[in-house]
Structure 1
Amino acid sequence: MHTAEQRAEIRRRFAAVGTSNVADVLDDLGRPDQGLAPSLAAVSGERLAGWAYTIRGQMRPSEGTGDAAKMQACQGIGPDEVAIWAGDGHGVCYFGELIALGLRERGCVGAVVDGGVRDLRWLRQHGFPVFARYRTPVQSIGRWAVTGWQEPVYLRGATAAWVRVHPGDFVLADEDGGVVVPAALVEDVLTAAERLTATEVSIRAALLEGLSLAECLARFGHV
């Protein structure tokens, strides 16, 4: 288990590397299907990095004015965590401005929503990063409800139908898309991704100095 300080430092370091390098490292480690589907795209902000806190729900008609389970689930999130919203919803909003503000008060650093979001103007104004599958003005109350949290969930995948996300996995998303790093591989993936990032920096500098791409690849290797 990592301490709170270690989790914060790992998140800071991951935020400095790109998803492409992380995906390449995962390929090398025999985990080729950790990329998230391109339909999970940024709707607020451009990058997020954090430890997975999972929330699952489903379409379930109901009466009443709220979702007590959703509120209870949100109370458990902590610093440096990303809220991962999954389930079988369609056409309705799982996540909006007020939930985001409540989560941020608890230290949450973003959300990945395999479903709908709304209040995009305000999410952007607050600077809260969100990657989501679709946008909609239609609320979830009476239509969709939280059924569990902090248990394994499934998000749509890039090279496989689904990516399984466990609480405590690491999630990174940027302009290229999203990727899930299994908890047991976090430190190995981070170290290798940092090394790959440093190599790319050296290649870019050499290209600016006038070396050809072939010369750079001969010197630094393929990336």
Structure 2
Amino acid sequence: MLALLHTSPAHVPVFDALRDEAHPELELRHTVDEDLLVRARAEGPDAVAGEVRALLAEAARDGAGAVLCTCSTIGAVAESVGAEVPVLRVDRPMAEAAVAVGPRVVVLATVESTLEPTASLVRDEARRSGRAVAVRTLLADGAWPLFEAGDTSGYVRAVARAADTVTAADADVIVLAQASMASARDLTTTPVPVLSSPRPGLAAGAGAVYANAAGLR
């Protein structure tokens, strides 16, 4: 079983659909705690470390083979607090793919609290691969209130408009910092490759579950 830690209920059907498409044999267990993101935005990600640690321990007790944190703001905290099972952040495979595309990376987010954690992740993956990168951050102004209001189509359109301001002269690749932004990829017209996290993140989580079950952790 793969446990998923979300900070929005909107992620549940997204990951269920991806599981049904690509990993039909994988059992998912969803935990949604919206207050984690609220507090992390107000006080900083480290403020929720205790709550995250408790949720990871609960997932392990319930039989999870791995945990996938789908919130980019608290992803680094989830990776670092320690757990009895592997803990992955959903955006790490995306960041790894981004640095392989080229050295100029634009991190696009809809909440400011996600910008630096994702930029730091990209730099970390660049160091791991021995590549040099220049990371620029971009906030999709006005998008997040649409998400909070439940206007998903307006939200992804706003994300796509922000992505389309990035040209090939500006960047080699754009990363959509939040899992909620993934659908905007289909609406963009920029020639710059646009990467999102849910599909590769879920694949990595599934791989961790199978490796744990095989004793390869």
Category of TM-score, reference length = shorter chain: under 0.3
| More strand, by proportion | 1
**Quick check: which has more Rg, 1 or 2?**
1
TM-score by length of 2: 0.28
Higher RCO (CA < 8 A, seq sep 6+): 1
| More helix, by proportion | 2
TM-score by length of 1: 0.27
